[in-house]
Amino acid sequence: MFVGFDYGSSNCAMGVMNDNNVQLVPLEHGKHYLPSTLYTHHSALVVDFVAKHLKATAHEQDFNSQRQALLNSLPRIKSDLDLQPSDETLFIGREAISEYVQFPEEGYFVKSPKSFFGATGLKQGQINFFEDIATAMILKIKQRAEQSLEKELTQTVIGRPVNFQAVGGEQSNQQAIGILERAAKRAGFKDVDFLYEPLAAGIDYESDLTHDQKVLVIDIGGGTSDCSFVQMGPSFRGNSQRDNDFLAHSGKRVGGNDLDIALSFHGLMPLLGLGSTFKSGLPLPNQPFWQACKINDVNLQSQFYSESQARELNAQLRDVSAPALYKRLIHLQQNKQGHQLVQQGEAAKIALSSTNDFNCDLRFLDTELSKSLSVHDLSLAVESSISQIVTLAKQAISDAQTTPDVIYLTGGSAQSPLIKAALSEHLGNINMVNGDHFGSVTAGLTKWASMLYK
């Protein structure tokens, strides 16, 4: 059986065809969307989880030989953690978030792993680790879908952004695709194909078109924003190859996560000392505050949570002019609470799309600490990110050398009034259509899979 699989930066979803209609598969307590998060008590336990599920498969020998050193260390790690054979050691989705919030300092938490797959400069060990994270997540998601459908899933089309990274070009894209393809096959998919996420979203829109249109699909996901300028309609939707229907592509690693990070940095980090000074009058460096918020950059996160950073922050405490604020940054660093801070920024961003103010709960940093953020705060914080999204849209229109008949907006952050206003201001009076902000890509991937695997 085939599925369309949106392994997204913010959420994961799977779709199947049911009487020529797309049906989303429940993945977590009856919900169709599973947050792209993973939590485990120790990073090596991800390898352990994958190895157990690869026993007696064609992938077992190759995987075990590549991970032998880590596998040999597992008995000691499990003993140190006092883990029993029956203990659950790996969580995904909302369960991962819940475990992390309860025990932030005791385990390993990753959000939006797909954001890291195309990173430049990764060593083979890091690539292997991201493969294992992806494999573990896909394994669990696939198992839940098969349990719900009562059928084995063997074929899939997975969505991919136009570019996984702003830098690195096609080499970064191939690295990320390789990670995802190997993970999906280790998870049990026999046939794996990929489709651009904005095109997938457009295919869902195209299904209802009664006449041909030139459509600029703008897909603002959690980790990337992509634009695809595509000819669509009755004359095109039956084509099994769509390359000739493309007029232009543009994409960049800027998305909803970047909006969350920017709002957390500008709106919340002043409560931890951002913008304050040393007793000498010199400003505090912005770097540690940015590293703490930049949850989609594995290198910056490693630097922030390092022992050397802990020593430096504690050494600087006696020299800062606002030690009470700076102690909150030290508390966040010691307890690995950067994700919790950015979760509050994300909650504020979502709420401010329909209300003027949102009160962020920061009691995990200090008793009764909170911060009210406004639409104006959001506007200032995300101005740079929105400008980059507008530039992508302009680039696609320029490359296509024609004006779109319609702009089709999809993705979790596409509902932001700030983004829509910026697009209208810079692109002119072009009709905008709102897609299913979370389901369009999954639906398109599923419809493409039905053509590919029929």
Average pLDDT over residues 140-162: 95
Of 22-31, 102-111, 328-337, 440-449, give the lowest mean pLDDT range: 102-111
| Residue 437 pLDDT grade (very low, low, confident, very high; cuts 50, 70, 90) | low
Stronger pLDDT, 163 or 438, i.e. the higher one? 163
- Give me the pLDDT at residue 166, please: 63
- Give me the pLDDT at residue 168, please: 64
Cα 173–Cα 201–Cα 293 angle in degrees, nearest 5: 55
Cα dihedral 53, 55, 59, 61, rounded to 10, equals 140
For 86-239, strand residue ranges (E) read 90-92, 108-111, 155-160, 191-196, 213-220, 225-232
- Token pair 């919900």 is found at 31
Of 5-9, 222-226, 261-265, give the lowest mean pLDDT range: 222-226
| pLDDT surpassing 90 at residue 245 | no
Cβ neighbours around 361 below 10 Å, total: 14
| pLDDT surpassing 80 at residue 438 | no
What are the chain's domains? 2-189 (3.30.420.40), 213-253+384-433 (3.30.420.40), 257-383 (no CATH)
Q: Report helix, strand and coil shares of the chain as percent, to nearest 5.
A: 50, 20, 30
- Give me the pLDDT at residue 67, please: 93
pLDDT tens digits for 267-307? 999 999 999 999 999 999 999 999 999 988 878 888 999 99
- Give me the pLDDT at residue 408, please: 93
- Give me the pLDDT at residue 290, please: 97
Stronger pLDDT, 135 or 116, i.e. the higher one? 135
| pLDDT surpassing 80 at residue 165 | no
Average pLDDT over residues 143-147: 96
Of 324-338, 340-354, 405-419, give the lowest mean pLDDT range: 405-419
Average pLDDT over residues 211-228: 90
For residue 314 the two structure tokens come to: 């504690």
Based on DSSP, count helices (H) and strands (E) in the chain, helices before strands. 17, 16
In the chain, % of residues over pLDDT 90: 70
| pLDDT surpassing 80 at residue 171 | yes
